[in-house]
Structure 1
Amino acid sequence: MVQLSERPGTTRITNLQEKLIYEVGAMYDAENRFWEAQQTMLQCCQNSQLRSLLETHIRETEQQIRNLEQVFQTLGKQPLRVTCDAAAGLVSDGQKLMLLASENPQILSLGLAGSQAKVEQLEIACYRGLIRAAEQMGQHEVVNLLRQNLQQEEQTAQKIEQHLPQLIQEAQSAGSSKAAKSR
């Protein structure tokens, strides 16, 4: 169990407004972590379609970070990153996979896409929860900003899902040809 003493600057949450601010802070941390990770992924990626998708999503993530900063402003708070352990875990898992698959570009591309797909699903779930809370609070401007982010995440998830079969086929073909050469 995490102790509050392990999280400097974290205070108890006693109402919906504080919960929303806390969760926006966690999402702000997550988006920043994912933006940094996407930079690394882009450097490693050799698949042109996946590279293009990553380049587009990096720009979108930058806008999503600005949207979250505007959410903080609307709520009368300074932007604050609250450590998002789920995001840190996904980034760590993705980094491990990149190291382990670095010798095979097709497996690496498939791994990058799979890692990005996991990130998108986390972000979609988080944004949906934030939107529900903001709606209950009557925070219409916050809802609009969060919906913009959600829409981009859903579109990216869909593009990755559409691209995965091709990446799987390329990885399988690369594995088959390497197996035939080693015989």
Structure 2
Amino acid sequence: MFEHFNTPEELFSYKLGSALTMERDSLEMLETLETTTPRVRLKELFNTHAAETRHQIENLERCFALLGEEINDFPSPTTKGLAKEGKASIAKTEPSIVDAVLLAGGLETERYEMAVYETLMINAKARGADEVLVLLKQNYDQEVAASEKLLKAAEMISSEGIAREIPPR
């Protein structure tokens, strides 16, 4: 649709569509992470964030409706690259330590998503799109929370031993 951006609104619409693709890519990655990890707690973490991601997709689709625009899912080359890197790393990793790779990939993706939402929120505010801003902030807050959970999980498995299953508490 856009070969050249002529207005801030066009750029915002493109970035919003790219964020939609980003979340769809992330949902696919989360499903892979959940099925790859042997740890029950990580399966639960990835599953919970997948449910949040489905809601984030709905929020982004609502943003388009609030703006009176058609839903567009523009490319998100960064998330495609992160997914490709993650799959390659998983394939090269001994199963007993794969959780370290999964958590690193999850953290990298969450941090990217946070940056995307920060930019979108700045632009929604500048546009005066307050209802859109609220939805974007909800998504951002969930990404921050997911990032914190992933960071804690990464710290836990590194301190307790990546190769050991952590018994449920």
Aligned length: 164
Matched to 1:145, the amino acid is L
State the 1:41 CA deviation: 1.3
Residue 10 of structure 1 deviates from its aligned partner by 3.1
Give 1:172 deviation, angstroms: 6.3
For residue 31 of structure 2, the aligned residue among 39, 42, 45 is 39
Q: CA RMSD in A?
A: 1.4
Distance 1:40 1:14 in 2: 38
The one-letter code of the counterpart of 2:65 is: Q
User: When the two structures are superposed, what TM-score results if normalisation uses the length of structure 2?
Assistant: 0.92
Query: Where does 1:8-23 land on structure 2 (aligned, <5 Å)?
Result: 9-23=1-15
Find the structure with the greater CA-based Rg. Answer: 1
Determine which of 47, 58, 75 is the counterpart of 2:67: 75
What is the percent sequence identity of the aligned residues? Answer: 26
Query: Post-superposition shift, 1:173?
Result: 6.5
Cα deviation digits, residues 37-74 of structure 1 (max 9, x gap):
11111111111221111010000000000000001111
- Residue 124 of structure 1 is matched in structure 2 by 114
Amino acid across the alignment from 1:52 = E
- The letter for the 2-side match of 1:77 is E
Q: Partners in 1 of 2:164 and 2:141 — Cα distance? A: 34
- 1:63-110 alpha-carbon deviations (Å, 9 max, x no partner): 000000001111111211111111111111111111111x323x2111
Amino acid at match of 2:22: A
Is 1:30 equivalent to 2:26 in the alignment? no
**For 1:25 and 1:80, how far apart are their aligned partners in 2?**
5
User: Equivalent of 1:171, from 155, 162, 167?
Assistant: 162
